[in-house]
Structure 1
Amino acid sequence: MRRLENTLSREFSIQEKYSRNILAMFEEGATVPFIARYRKESTGGMLDVDLRRFHERWQYLVELEKRRMSILTVLENKPDCPKGVITKINQAITKSELEDIFAPFKTTRKSKASEAIEIGLKPLAEDLWAGTLSEQPKDLVQWMKNNSLEMEVQKALEGALDIIIETLSQDTELLKQGRSLLLSIGEVQSKLVRGKKDLGEKYRDYFDYSEAVKKIPSHRLLALFRGKKEAILKLSINLPNETVDLSRLNLDHLAFIFSPQVERNAALCKLSVNQKRYLFLAWEKKLSAKLESDIFSVLKEQAEEGAINVFANNLNDLLMSAPAGPHRVIGVDPGFRNGVKLAVINEFGEVVDHGVIYPFTSDAQKQKAISSLLNYITQHNVEWLAIGNGTASRETEQLANQLIEKEGLSCRAVVVSEAGASVYSASDVAISEFPDLDVTIRGAVSIARRFQDPLAELVKIDPQAIGVGQYQHDVKPAQLASSLANVVEDCVNKVGVDVNLASASLLSYVAGLSNRMAQNIIDYRRQKGRIESRGELLKVKGIGAKGFEQCAGFLRVLEGCEVLDSSGVHPESYPLVRTMAKAMNMQIQSLLGNVSAINQLQLKFADFSGVDRYTFDDTLKELAKPGRDPRPEFRYAEFDQGVQSMSDLVEGMSLEGVVTNVAAFGAFVDIGVHQDGLIHISQLADRFVKDPRDLVRVGQVIKVTVLEVDEKRKRISLKATGL
């Protein structure tokens, strides 16, 4: 444990006491949102994103120690294992380094080298390496005669070379330096597989391509890996000009690779010309392929991590995008032949009416559809029409706007993303919520609710189905799912949850609540009715003192019997707030939002004993803006009504759109033509932009200029304006 504390303290540049505290809280089952928000005094104010990294690194180090112990246990039963190997294992700091050291001692299938050792050729390999024996046939014949070996000279030489090559390829320092060489100056090269030109047209940019290993971005790597997986591309890693310059490496220790007992003197020696020749042979025969495989594994891991981070960042931005709020909304799921599905939602997210209209099948049906839509709007005092951005969305938007203008209605129409709505509509969650509604109507409900509150509705959908990532099918599913679940958890707990309105899906992401606990809260509400206080949560089955500690601060009870229950102040700090109110000679209700009183309290920290500065300041911030929502104000994109399809686009045209996806190379923007346009990173601003997310986020409404339209390839190039 002490070793872990030291390592983590050093890597995260924090005091060891904070590392110890964090590990203790994790082991007790504390969640990242809870620790980040309510235990800052125990972490030194570490942010949630850093706590996530700390947790991941801790898990890695725990697995590393388990593997270290497992290897040491195996080596205890190998009396021929040198002491130096044990020392190296105890000093190894990565899993790959451990495996490199352990590789020669693994019980694996026989290799050519092991077979050569079994027939007595290791002494021959040692003499050849040491230079006391040449490869001249007459010298080899004499050596074999002296050592009573009867076999073909050529086979004996081949066996000895196999031993030398395998011994070199298992040297941990050589592997380490070889990897470093390829990572620093190596080049990733891709070639078209013969006969696959027509099948691989989408990969034509990579038919004959090379880029430095240290510069190639994640998205390009994943495209190359996909091309390889589809047998379109052949990938390799080569040194510049395909020259193997091993003089860059410090390999003099190899002079005594067959004599470990004198390894300590290796620094005084140099590799002979003959040994260098064998080293080049080992590189060509085995090391190059092994290191190439290792580097591709490293690159794939880095690329996947990059893709997952892009997905996670976009998901975070989408979930934290502005909610329209508690309005009466008609969720509209457009369609041509199958009709336009409508779901009327009240300000509490409840379905009050629904239906299907067919405005695009005939003139008669169109008039009937307009009449029905008008009836839905006026009967239910609808304020917004949230129209899904799929098939027939612009046509439906145009129809709605014409109706609104003709009848002088006060409602407005807006196009919103419907990504994942169909997934939700057929899910168990949707069936549980609306068992009597048709699957298509459930999709319209989802569209309306995500307009009201994106976070509350999108948590019901598998994050991978929301459509804000790239190459998600090329990364490890478990790693992606874990990362996205962490994002959802962090977003939910940053915003807070109304315990009386939240769905089980939303509640399940609250810190400290399991799926079962979340459902128990729903069941409790159904049986008892409205929850009146946070303290009442302790009556819910499965929520004990520990669970309550974790979740209470993130659950809101609006208009309950305790005024602080609607804020982000944790119940454990209620006594502190009462003391603050008493010090100011006022009621707690009067303290909330009272900037003057809070500013005075800020100067009186020394008067409050038994409270740390972090908790004191955070409590005052919450009292200043109780229950504050960290999300921005709502804004929506107004699509140009004269632009309905790609054919309507003209170079130089200025439009408004909404960012749907942000990648390392730029941002995709919905401008209302059923095909997102791309703002390349170089077109985001008139200055250098390192990361597109520094300027744009998913859900952001921006203005763009059309640069180029390629209808055949369905590509739209855009330039951002005003960022």
Structure 2
Amino acid sequence: MKSIESRIADELRVAQGQVIAAIGLLDEGATVPFISRYRKEVTGGLDDSQLRELEDRLKYLRELEDRRATILSSIEEQGKLNDDLKKSILTAETKNSLEDLYLPYKPKRRTKGQIAREAGLEPLADALLGDPMLDPETEAAGYLNDSDETPVPDTKAALDGARAILMERFAEDAALLARLRDYLQANAVVTVNVAKDKEQEGSKFRDYFDYQEPFNAIPPHRALAIFRGRNEGILNSTLDIAAPEGGWESELAHPCAQMVAEHWGIQSQERPADKWLTQVVSWTWKIKVLLHLSGDLMFDLRERAEAEAIRVFSLNLKDLLLAAPAGAKATLGLDPGLRTGVKVAVVDKTGQYLDQATIYPHAPKNQWDQSIAVIAALAAKHGVELIAIGNGTASRETDKLAGDLIKRHPELRLTKVMVNEAGASVYSASEFAAREFPDLDVTIRGAVSIARRLQDPLAELVKIEPKSIGVGQYQHDVNQFQLGRSLDAVIEDCVNDVGVDLNMASMPLLRRVSGLNETIANNIVMYRNQHGEFNSREQLKEVPRLGDKTFEQAAGFLRIVSTNANPLDSSGVHPEAYSVVEAIARKNGREINSIIGDTQFLKSLKPEDYTTEQFGVPTVTDIINELNKPGRDPRPEFKTAALRDGVETIKDLVEDMVLEGTVTNVTNFGAFVDIGVHQDGLVHISCLADKFVDDPHKVVKAGQIVKVKVLEVDVQRKRIALTMRLQETSAERRDRGQGAGKPKPRNTKPARANKQRTMPANNAMAEKLAAAFKK
């Protein structure tokens, strides 16, 4: 049996020594960001994605080994562990195969088969299975008894007991189960129908009221839609091999029943026991095996669909967290509203709250000029450079207000930007927001969050529960523990990739830094409040509960931007490696300050000239690159979408109109784009590019500015079909037989020709799904 380290090495296609080293570091408490950045020599350069996969597989395989040990111990205690069984258990590579082997020995409540064996009927079952020439009725007559505990009053009872024994035996054969599972996985279809009298209640699932698709072809988003419909009691689903027209002609006609019969050497040759044995096979398949395996396979389908949904959410979250920051500029945040007014908050260039107001520029009060005067006064008073406008209700009307303000007051030199406000209300009502702004109204806190989100999306979004940000796909239907674990990993990677200003960071941001937790993050903030700004990384060691191990993990990701600080403290160079920089400066007769940013000098250096026993070429190379651009931000340059004037509601859209917008969410079936009409439009996967696209994430990402063309608008249902294939018109698509935004259905290989249909992967379907999962 391969070791855990060997299996992971094969899967990642790396050397076993790299895996062993990485596991050692993880077990010692090192984080993935720390290992990938500062321990390249130890792991042979494993990157963060490899380490995350290694971490996940290590968890699974260790759980598998624990379960293997439990099963071996249980069977050994029963005195039933032989060499062949032990070998099979030791070589089982998945949890399913392990459980199949354990099934006959798994403690369970008293079954019909056990009762039959206690009644002495196992010899009858063995006799009929071994010799089909025996007559079942005649043989059963020899096993009748009138025992008080396990009576067998007649031949029917005897044969029922023998059947129960064989059904258990057949259904608990690990090799047979593995073969049947593989066959079903490759050939079964999932059939879905609406539950009785649920048509009206479940109208959002109407695409699945009469639906069939091959099991191995169901994409994750459709699988999750089916599971949601089942959980809500709207849909019923089954998994089986599709029957031919008219059904199966005999009990052994079903291919899986045939496999059971072949495995146990059962044939229908008109011998006395053949009919009884074929009934046993048929019952075994229908009553025991199909139920067991279909449950397993549907569970596996859910797990795969959930894993894909979590992957999609993680990718979108990463793109959103790493969106371009507008930077350290005084910002005025507008949280739009109609009747309740527009909430205004001003923050300084560091994100600190300064001022607030509530204005009523829209109906019913229509205080347009007064509102402009209020905002202009606040902007002048606090030196505001940016206006952040939340993209919720009344956003375009408020955007027009900001535009009018800029026209009337060019001396203020203001820039307006529409900001995705998803999750701002969640932050506003959070415990952290209440502690941060105890005297502010919840709605003003929301305006503060919108302003800060423009300045630095990462620093603000880490304060919000990721599921509230709105970039997921069925995120409330998936395993919440796995989702949380994956999203936490994404946040940790993003925060540490960018780095954190130690003197500016909030507690929620600090707690995402490698090695830190909420308690230590709180202690850092308290220490900063009591003693003022940190002047060096070494000063971190004075923070309560921040020991040497925590310092090692965190220090490289914490920046100190101060004229009094060591210049290396503002870089990504770890304090443990300052000696390398000092050696570079000393050897070349330079001061450290003078070599930082000197590109020509740094490019002339040979990393191998400065290696030590502790720091090899990979680390020295990283240090030189960091000195060239100290504390560099990996995020892109800030830019915004130019929303089209006069296009403010869905009614303003017309076919073939070209607009600029911002990608808000990317799913497996396409991307949603905010074009400024209060309703995101969908660019179906077939409309993302002029070439075939198998994964939308390869073309677009959340937060990206894109140009789109309107294909179709359904005002009544508030649905917008868009395309990024700008050369093609809606008319041309219709001429090719494809309605606007409706690509040709994909081949889903229907398993049988009947009235049931496979699901077309088109825009209309995708939009329905999108509407369902956004609710």
Give the shorter-chain TM-score range. Answer: over 0.9
Structure 2 counterpart of 1:565, from 541, 563, 569: 569
In the TM superposition, residue 355 of structure 1 has moved relative to its aligned partner by 1.1
Structure 2 counterpart of 1:401, from 386, 403, 426: 403
TM-score (norm 1): 0.94
In the TM superposition, residue 557 of structure 1 has moved relative to its aligned partner by 0.8
What secondary structure is seen at the aligned counterpart in 1 of 2:59? helix
Aligned partner of 1:338 in structure 2 is 340
Aligned partner of 1:319 in structure 2 is 321
Q: Distance in 2 between matches of 1:498 and 1:550?
A: 16
Aligned partner of 2:51 in structure 1 is 51
Task: State the one-letter code of the partner of 2:192.
Answer: S
Please list the CA deviations of residues 63-118 of structure 1 after superposition, one character each: whole Å capped at 9, or x if unmatched: 12222222222222212444432222222222222222222222222222222122
Q: Distance in 2 between matches of 1:683 and 1:9?
A: 39
Matches within 5 A, 1:262-281: 278-281=280-283
In the TM superposition, residue 6 of structure 1 has moved relative to its aligned partner by 2.5
Change (3 A) 1:293 1:320: same
2:346–2:353 Cα contact (<8 Å) kept: yes
Aligned partner of 1:385 in structure 2 is 387
Aligned partner of 2:602 in structure 1 is 598
In the TM superposition, residue 606 of structure 1 has moved relative to its aligned partner by 4.5
Runs of at least 5 residues in structure 1 that lack an aligned partner in the other structure: 257-271
Range with greater deviation from structure 2 (202-211 or 76-85): 76-85
Matches within 5 A, 1:204-283: 204-241=206-243, 244-246=254-256, 254-255=264-265, 278-283=280-285
1:584–1:597 Cα contact (<8 Å) kept: no
Aligned partner of 1:355 in structure 2 is 357
2:176–2:263 Cα contact (<8 Å) kept: no
Aligned partner of 2:370 in structure 1 is 368
Aligned partner of 2:169 in structure 1 is 167
Change (3 A) 1:413 1:654: same
Task: State the one-letter code of the partner of 1:398.
Answer: K
In the TM superposition, residue 275 of structure 1 has moved relative to its aligned partner by 6.4
Aligned partner of 1:285 in structure 2 is 287
Aligned partner of 1:182 in structure 2 is 184
What secondary structure is seen at the aligned counterpart in 2 of 1:667? strand
Whether 2:128 is the aligned partner of 1:128: answer: yes
Task: State the one-letter code of the partner of 1:388.
Answer: G
Matches within 5 A, 1:658-697: 658-697=662-701
Aligned partner of 1:583 in structure 2 is 587
Please list the CA deviations of residues 237-287 of structure 1 after superposition, one character each: whole Å capped at 9, or x if unmatched: 12133663249959866459xxxxxxxxxxxxxxx9986764344212211
Range with greater deviation from structure 2 (220-229 or 243-252): 243-252
Change (3 A) 1:562 1:607: closer
What secondary structure is seen at the aligned counterpart in 1 of 2:700? coil
Q: Distance in 1 between matches of 2:533 and 2:602?
A: 32
Whether 2:516 is the aligned partner of 1:513: answer: yes
Please list the CA deviations of residues 221-246 of structure 1 after superposition, one character each: whole Å capped at 9, or x if unmatched: 00000111111111111213366324
Task: State the one-letter code of the partner of 2:71.
Answer: I
Q: Distance in 2 between matches of 1:599 and 1:400?
A: 47
Structure 1 counterpart of 2:723, from 715, 719, 722: 719
Aligned partner of 1:706 in structure 2 is 710
In the TM superposition, residue 645 of structure 1 has moved relative to its aligned partner by 0.8
Aligned partner of 1:621 in structure 2 is 625
In the TM superposition, residue 720 of structure 1 has moved relative to its aligned partner by 1.1
TM-score (norm 2): 0.88
1:71–1:102 Cα contact (<8 Å) kept: yes
Q: Distance in 2 between matches of 1:659 and 1:22?
A: 37
Q: Distance in 2 between matches of 1:363 and 1:71?
A: 73
Aligned partner of 1:89 in structure 2 is 89
Change (3 A) 1:131 1:483: same
Matches within 5 A, 1:36-47: 36-47=36-47
Task: State the one-letter code of the partner of 2:465.
Answer: D
How many residue pairs match? The answer is 706
Q: Distance in 2 between matches of 1:245 and 1:621?
A: 63
Whether 2:482 is the aligned partner of 1:467: answer: no
1:134–1:140 Cα contact (<8 Å) kept: no
Q: Distance in 2 between matches of 1:666 and 1:521?
A: 43
Change (3 A) 1:530 1:168: same
1:133–1:139 Cα contact (<8 Å) kept: no
2:336–2:342 Cα contact (<8 Å) kept: yes
In the TM superposition, residue 401 of structure 1 has moved relative to its aligned partner by 0.7
Task: State the one-letter code of the partner of 2:104.
Answer: P
What secondary structure is seen at the aligned counterpart in 2 of 1:53? helix
What secondary structure is seen at the aligned counterpart in 2 of 1:355? strand
Q: Distance in 1 between matches of 2:577 and 2:281?
A: 68
2:683–2:722 Cα contact (<8 Å) kept: yes
Task: State the one-letter code of the partner of 1:39.
Answer: R
1:127–1:133 Cα contact (<8 Å) kept: no
Range with greater deviation from structure 2 (564-573 or 15-24): 15-24
Runs of 4 or more consecutive aligned structure 1 residues displaced over 6 Å after TM superposition: 272-277
Please list the CA deviations of residues 365-410 of structure 1 after superposition, one character each: whole Å capped at 9, or x if unmatched: 3332222122112222211110111111111111111121133342
In the TM superposition, residue 132 of structure 1 has moved relative to its aligned partner by 4.8
Whether 2:442 is the aligned partner of 1:444: answer: no
Structure 2 counterpart of 1:549, from 552, 567, 577: 552
Whether 2:496 is the aligned partner of 1:496: answer: no
1:709–1:716 Cα contact (<8 Å) kept: yes
Q: Distance in 2 between matches of 1:85 and 1:114?
A: 22
Runs of at least 5 residues in structure 2 that lack an aligned partner in the other structure: 249-253, 267-273, 728-775
Aligned partner of 2:757 in structure 1 is none
Please list the CA deviations of residues 423-458 of structure 1 after superposition, one character each: whole Å capped at 9, or x if unmatched: 101111101111111111000000000100000011
Task: State the one-letter code of the partner of 2:536.
Answer: S
Aligned partner of 2:732 in structure 1 is none
Range with greater deviation from structure 2 (504-513 or 200-209): 200-209
1:359–1:365 Cα contact (<8 Å) kept: yes
Aligned partner of 1:485 in structure 2 is 488
In the TM superposition, residue 9 of structure 1 has moved relative to its aligned partner by 2.3
What secondary structure is seen at the aligned counterpart in 2 of 1:164? helix
Please list the CA deviations of residues 558-605 of structure 1 after superposition, one character each: whole Å capped at 9, or x if unmatched: 124211111111111111111112233222222112222222213x51
In the TM superposition, residue 216 of structure 1 has moved relative to its aligned partner by 0.9
Change (3 A) 1:676 1:134: farther
Whether 2:658 is the aligned partner of 1:648: answer: no
1:307–1:472 Cα contact (<8 Å) kept: yes
Change (3 A) 1:331 1:707: same
What secondary structure is seen at the aligned counterpart in 2 of 1:716? strand
1:135–1:157 Cα contact (<8 Å) kept: no
Matches within 5 A, 1:6-155: 6-132=6-132, 134-141=134-141, 150-155=152-157
Q: Distance in 2 between matches of 1:361 and 1:377?
A: 24
What secondary structure is seen at the aligned counterpart in 2 of 1:98? helix
Please list the CA deviations of residues 594-643 of structure 1 after superposition, one character each: whole Å capped at 9, or x if unmatched: 222222213x5146443312112111111121111000000111211211
What secondary structure is seen at the aligned counterpart in 2 of 1:706? strand
2:584–2:610 Cα contact (<8 Å) kept: no
Task: State the one-letter code of the partner of 1:658.
Answer: T
What secondary structure is seen at the aligned counterpart in 2 of 1:472? coil
1:9–1:16 Cα contact (<8 Å) kept: yes
Q: Distance in 2 between matches of 1:41 and 1:291?
A: 47
What secondary structure is seen at the aligned counterpart in 2 of 1:188? strand
1:706–1:719 Cα contact (<8 Å) kept: yes
1:533–1:565 Cα contact (<8 Å) kept: yes
Q: Distance in 1 between matches of 2:80 and 2:502?
A: 65
1:345–1:351 Cα contact (<8 Å) kept: yes
Q: Distance in 2 between matches of 1:714 and 1:698?
A: 22
